[in-house]
Every structure is written in C-alpha cells, then in structure tokens.
Structure 1
Amino acid sequence: MSHTVPENANDHCPGTESETAGKAASCAGCPNQSACQSAPKGPDPDMGAVNERMGCIRKKILVLSGKGGVGKSTFSAHLARALAAQDKTTVGLLDVDICGPSIPTLMGVASKSIMSVTGDGWSPVFVGESLAVMSIGFLLESPDQAIIWRGPKKNGMIKQFLRDVNWGEAATEAASGDDDDAKLDYLVVDTPPGTSDEHLSIVQYLKGSGIDGAVIVTTPQEMSLLDVRKEINFCKKVGVKVLGVVENMSGFVCPSCSTKTMIFSPTTGGAEAMCEAMGVPYLGAIPIDPALAKSCDRGKSYFEEAPDSAGVAAFNHVIDGIKAALEAEA
C-alpha cells in the first residue's frame, strides 16, 4: 500500500495530544506517525511540576539537526559557553541525546557525576560560576556504557530532567547574594538528530512553559540538507519557531594563507539557498577548524583556545544572530 503524504498534511495535523494522533488520514506517511500513535493521551499528571520547574528559566532554545555528525552538540556546547560569557548571565545546558551523550566530554566534565539529590531536585554539574550542565552521562558507571532503551524509557528520562533538575539553584549560585527570585537566563537543549520520540517529548513537555525557538545545524551538502528540510517542517508542524539555520563545516580556512576550500561542496546551493526557499532565517556559516576538534576532545572552550581564528569570528556572528532573534521576540 502506498503511503503518500498529502500536500496539506501540516494543515490537518491533529496534534500530538489528540486522541486521533497517528491515526488520522493526514498522519499517513508522517515520520512521527508511530510515535504519536503510541504516545499516552490526555493530561500528564507531571506537567504541573515540569511547568513550575521550567518557570525559573527566561529563554529556552532547542538545538536540532536532521542528520547526525553535523556538529550539533559542538555547536550547543559553544552556544552555551558564549551566552554564559555575557556579564551577569546564567546558562543551563541540557543534553537530551540519551543514547549518545557527548556534552560532558565537550564541556570537560566527563568525570563528574550528579553530586547532590535533595528535596529540591538534582543539582546540575557546574562549568564555572554561570554555566551548569545536565546529561545522562553523569549517571553512567562508565562513559563506554551503552544505553539500550526503548522510546518510553528515554522519554521518561527527558521528563525527569525537566521536572527534577534544579536550574534555579544554578541561577542563585551565580547571583550576588541570596536571591530567591533568581532565574536562569538561558536553557540550551541539545537534542539527538532526527524528528522522533525525544523531539516530540521535549516539545510536549515544554509546551506549558514555552519554547523560545530552535536553531538547526546542518552541513553544506545535499545529503544533510535533505534531512534538515524535514526538521524545519517538524518545527512548523509542532509550532516551534525556527530562529535560524547554521551551516557548519562550511569549508576549510587555511590558518597560514586564509585560503578557503569547500571540502563538502554545496551542490544545491547550501544552507543559505535552502533557507531562502523555505522561508527561514540563515544565521551564517562556520568553517572546519582542527583547533575546534582539538578543543572539543579536551573539553576546552574554542573561544579561549583560538580566539583570533576565522572559526571563532564565524561562531560569534552566528550567536549574535541568535541573540538578536531572541530579543526580537521579547
């Protein structure tokens, strides 16, 4: 039987919480059909606690990618570092890539574990005074331990992160004096690649407290852009604003002569052309830099390791665009 997605399927999506989710005619051929169909329906009794916990966060940003290996987690880590470097700004970085938690390594805290579990919830792991991190990597006995979980268990872990991590503690820790009303300025959520269970869950769980937008990371070649188009359509379908698309690994800039070589050729015009065609913002391009790979492996900040590089300049340009998009929404 052929399952062709109707051209106006997005207009007739019943929504993830509907009783007909995954069963309606417009669901035929949707990549999320089975996830929507199997998800529990009706009010979630934990949503009150999730909304209360998320209420201590001013801005929530999802970092998405259609395909793995495009540098999404690397971008998430450095977005969080850049935001935390602003004066009097507190940031949380939440890793919901349950099966591939790379954030602890990227942030240089892979050897850490969750040190405190109190009546107020889990205390995140701190990277400096104004940046806190949470990942399932902090719960594993070994970094080589495989997480072999089905969708419901992964979704339950994501809900537990949102419900139980005390991000307000991170805000108070960085504030001068004891401020009971301190709020985290930003929460950056690093997601796994694709448009599946984890993505539906994070959108559903944050619906009550609001998502300020998503940043989508791609590489220039068509094989990556093909999946990013699906990611953009996913955001449109679930009502998440796309703050913009970042073209990562966009050429190699020689550190000696500054010559740029396009290693991954943009055969269909790259991310910029795709953004124009799909009506979403293009944030800019970040080149390949061996110094970035080295700093990530060592858990160091690329901004500090190679401050004068073309890559850092590109990162700063992209992050300025994200901040401008968030301010425009305020």
Structure 2
Amino acid sequence: MDVTFLDGTAKAFALSGGVSGVPAANALQFNINIAQADKPTGADVSCKQNGVTSHYGNHIDIATDSPAMAAAVTIGQDSGYTAVRDVELPALQTELESLASSELPLLSKSSMTALASWKDSLELLSPTAKTVAETILGAETAADNAGKFLRYYQDTITTTATQTRFKELLHTSGLTDSVDTQVVPAGSVIKVDIGNSGVAGGYCLKLYTNADGSLEARVPTAATVATECTGAAEEKWVIDARGAVHNGARPDLCLTSSKPSAPTACDVANVSQQWRYQADGHLTSVLSPAKSMDLNRSTRLPFLYGTDFGKQPAMDGPEHKHSARPSAAGRGIPQEAG
C-alpha cells in the first residue's frame, strides 16, 4: 500500500499475501496503523507479480483535519478501574433514577452487569439511585438464597416440613407478604381462536412435550380438544408483575413474543418475554407494542400479528392480578393470577 503525506513524502507498506488458505484476490480488508500526527493524505493498493504492477480498488483520500483521538485510558493493576467506573456509573445512575417510582425496578442487562461490577461503590450514586440499587441487589440476594434452598432440599421439597421452611424463607427475605402467600398460583387458561374455532369458548393454549423432548405452546386439534382442555396444569398460565407469562406446569418457562411465541427459560432482562394484558383481552407484546398474540391456524401455534383493537381478540386470558412482592416477580417467580 502506497501512502502519501501532507509534506509531499510517500511511504510503501507491505501487505500480507493473504490469510492461510485464502487467495490474496479474495482479501476484503487491510488494516494499517499510521500516526495521525504524520498527516497521511491518501493511499493506493497495488500488487506486483511477474514484473507487472496492478492497481486494486479506487484511490483513498484521507482527511487531515479530523479531530484528535481521545487519549488512551490505562486501567487495571496500579491504575485501578476508576476510569471505567467514571464512565459506567453516570449511565447506571440515570437508569436507576428512572426506576425510582417503579413498583418493580428492572434494569437492562448491561446496567445489571454494571451494578454487579460497582456494587461496592454505591455511595457515589445519588440518594435516589442508591435506594433503587439497594432494592434490586436485595431482591437478587433473596432470590439467590431461595434458589440455593430449592437445590439443596430438592429431594424433600414435596414434604410439608420443607415447604413450610421455604415459605418462611421467602417471607423473611421480603419476597412474599406472608408465609401463607401462594408462591406458584394455579393460574388460568388462555383461550384461543374465540369465535372462529367452531369450539365453544375457543381452544386452550397448552404446553406440549414433543417426542424429541422439546417444548412448545400450541392448541389441540379439533378432534382432541374435548379431551385435552380439562384444566390441567399444562393448560394454565400466570402473568407476573413484570408481564411475563409462565406455564402452570413449568413456571420456569415464559412465553416469548416471537413467531411462534415459544416457551423459553424465564429471563428478567429479556423484554421479549414481557406482555401487557389489555382491558379488551388482547395480550400485547412490550417489545412490539403494535402486535398481539394470536393463532396461526395452519401450525396451531401462537404467533404475533398486528393488533386490531376494534376486533374481538382471538385469545382470552390469563387474568392479570398480582399481589406479592415485586422482587419475587423480578426473578421470574410468578405472582398470584387467575
């Protein structure tokens, strides 16, 4: 590559003949670092082979009046990480303050990473941001402890004694209002294709386990709807305080607003798992507010379609009412519904 400079000089830079196994003619990009202070003005790429020089591509003009690059920031070891903190904390503070009035403060994934990194520097945040941060971290700790309890006592979790201790842990951690709070509610059905199915009240949306072990939410066929829609746990759904729709048999799975709307592992930072249950019955995606869950009749799977608020929704349910601590819902623990 031949590079010209503002002072009239030029310099040739040797380029690699190509990545191993990739012909030079297929190379898409070359990277050469030249000091901005040297004021390069242009560049040309050429190749000399068997005494013949061939030029490739167009001449490259390089501006000489570009703003100077920001000074390098040294982090780690003796320099510490204050430079990174000074960039990330203000952004984190802004998001935390925006959640001050939220019943269920949920940070974005990147901000949760920043909070985990700087949880020992909360005194540098504003009082409002610090309060929200402490609420989120407290809920994280409480939910983690609940998870550890379940893993440790998984062999006896069905016994009355273990369930009593678990309810006490949830209450003392602030995840539930009382020891009598139902942690995983019974839920309610979601009826599909109302008015078009030929079945009174529509089909029920159900969690199925396929032959290969995969899971999907779909409706039964007309031939089996009478025997399948019986109110089983797989046919019931719970919408929690953040808008995630959990299955009654697998509350660790949440419906995603995709095509189709498949059950995936609940993730508090996944906005595609958030829904809004409208007063007219539409289940609207938070990620795509102009779309709601509806039925693809050919596949019998729930899909996202444009919302027509003037039309009777093809899906009805689940009932949406939450009363337990929002911190529990923030970790994917469903609240009372149905």
Shorter-normalised TM-score: what interval? under 0.3
Structure with the largest fraction of helix: 1
Q: Calculate the TM-score normalised by the size of structure 1.
A: 0.24
Q: Calculate the TM-score normalised by the size of structure 2.
A: 0.24
* Bigger relative contact order (CA 8 A; separation at least 6): 1
Structure with the largest fraction of strand: 2
